[in-house]
Amino acid sequence: MPGRLKLALVGCGAISKMHVMGIRAAAKRTEIAAVVDVDRDRAKLLAGETGGAVFGSLDEALARGDFDAVDLMLPHQLHESAALAAFAKGKHVLLEKPMAPTPDACARILAAARAAGTVFMVGENAQYWPEVVRAQELLARGAIGDVVTARACIFFPPLAAYYGGEQAWRLRRDAAGGGVAIDTGSHWLRPLQMWIGELDEVVAAFGRPFARMEGESLVRALLRFRSGRVASFDALLSEAPLAPELLFRITGSAGEITIDGLGRSVLYDAEHRKGTPVGEPGGYMQSYAGEMADFEAAVLDGKPLAAGPEASLGELRAALAMARSVETGRWEKVGS
């Protein structure tokens, strides 16, 4: 395998900065060889930070650029066409979640990946979130006994980098495929599946308190897993002042684990009824380092990914089942 990974960053919006940060922190053998954006001025800004060659489209980059892999950070409705174009040229692909807005589009992407025979990763960075991984390790050694239930909660403001301006693509249902359930929700649903297993069915209610967003900006959902366990998922995008909130609470037969927004994990058990910190405070932003390092190792060393691209289908199907539940008023199967 080659000693270095030449990577093209495709889409130079806010998330690209997180990926560059992750590369610099943990993917030392990755070279940013190209930056691609329809807004060439934005691409030039990122090129100035990374040294990558500037291209105004993925087609142009694939025709003229010198790189082994693409990191696709685009509006959701562009995921399929961009991934298929990259696979057709034999490139390794890191694709931001969700894989695509529909299961049929995901099936076509997976088929193209198999035909190309290259590395395909769906970038769900929560897979590498330090506190989430730590909780998974605690559960594996029985620190709180058997999981009884869990709660995942994200109440957050519409940051200008992601939701600013009237043309921000996340405000449009056609570009995003929905609202917070299909977008932000995956970062909270992946940990629940890491801890409890595959989802079976959901029941949900949606609201639109952030009126500029066409999709839902409020989700209240109950999730039933194939194990029979039940958890809850709450998400709110709001311009109003918001109080601090636990991001995760995992309740077991012998204790609890909590994770807060400051990167602190706390274990409650028979020995520590008032709680004891577990590990050093980390934070969500550290997850990008693990993601970029995993992609690099998969390409250069042939190392299996921590989670294959098919794992992302669980979060997508859950979001779509929530939307169906809002229409039917019933529990809806997540599917397989």
Tens of pLDDT along the chain (336 residues)? Answer: 469 999 999 999 999 999 999 999 999 999 999 999 999 999 999 999 999 999 999 999 999 999 999 999 999 999 999 999 999 999 999 999 999 999 999 999 999 999 999 999 999 999 999 999 999 999 999 999 999 999 999 999 999 999 987 779 999 999 999 999 999 999 999 999 999 999 999 999 999 999 999 999 999 999 999 999 999 999 999 999 999 999 999 999 999 999 999 999 999 999 999 999 999 888 999 999 999 999 999 999 999 999 999 999 999 999 999 999 999 999 999 986
pLDDT in tens, 262-288: 999 999 999 999 999 999 888 999 999
Report all structural domains of the chain as residue ranges with CATH numbers, in order of start. Answer: 5-123 (3.40.50.720), 127-284+316-333 (3.30.360.10)
Q: Do 86 and 58 touch, CB atoms closer than 8 A?
A: yes
The whole-model pTM stands at 0.96
In this structure, the dihedral spanned by the alpha carbons of residues 327, 75, 164 and 237, taken in order and rounded to 10 degrees, is: 30
- Give 327-332 contacts, CB < 8 A, sequence gap 24+: 330/203, 331/201, 331/202, 331/203, 331/224, 332/201, 332/202, 332/203
pLDDT in tens, 103-156: 999 999 999 999 999 999 999 999 999 999 999 999 999 999 999 999 999 999
